[in-house]
A and B are shown apart, each in its own frame.
Chain A
């Protein structure tokens, strides 16, 4: 580990990763967990990958880190969307403190 900038990026990334996992423990239902965890862990891992890229520079390893970053940024929202859609379709309810659920209302209307 030579560059201070790389170390800085990795510190920020690791912190956000830990916060995302803490969100996974603390928040009450699947949708809230999905929100906190997806956002924080995606950015945290991207920051670690940027740090690794700065460490390797424009070599074979550095370019792979950049490709991996691009791929994670593209796929993780899609995975979160698929999971939340699937769990809503199979009927897992929102947390009891939720204010509204427009999607549930729409499903009811479609059934009637």
Chain B
């Protein structure tokens, strides 16, 4: 049962990777990276439930925070501004 959930989530992750590889414009790739970050949080949480070990949720929280900061940095880069603002 739970193997099936992992397979579906990995299919979703490969769809994001397809969008990262194909493009066609830079923002498209950035969107796919953002979405891939949130998907990985879901995969980590599911793995925590699968193994019954809570510490995988630490990885999920850290990944959520870092992916958010990374997306903001990419967006600032897209605006063509410095990070001071």
Contact = CB atoms under 8 A, between A and B. Distances in A.
Interface string A77-90: 01110110111011
Given A71-B61, A72-B64, A86-B79, A33 B28 contact: yes
A5 interface: no
B27 A86 contact: yes
A56 B79 contact: no
B37 to A, nearest CB: 9
Given A14-B8, A20-B35, A75 B68 contact: yes
A7 interface: yes
Interface string B52-76: 0111011011001100100110111
Contacts, number: 161
Interface size class of B (residues with CB under 8 A): 35 or more
Contact of B15 (A15, A22, A38, A48): A22
A53 B69 CA distance: 25
A104 to B, nearest CB: 16
Given A21-B15, A22-B15, A83-B78, 18 more contacts: A10-B46, A17-B8, A17-B42, A18-B8, A24-B19, A24-B32, A42-B38, A48-B45, A56-B49, A61-B53, A68-B57, A68-B60, A71-B61, A75-B68, A76-B34, A82-B75, A86-B27, A89-B79
13 contacts: A6-B49, A21-B39, A24-B16, A25-B19, A55-B49, A64-B54, A68-B41, A71-B61, A76-B38, A76-B68, A79-B34, A89-B79, A92-B27
Interface of A: 1, 6-7, 10-11, 13-15, 17-18, 20-22, 24-25, 30, 33-34, 37-38, 41-42, 44-45, 48-49, 51-52, 55-56, 59-62, 64-65, 67-68, 71-72, 75-76, 78-80, 82-83, 85-87, 89-90, 92
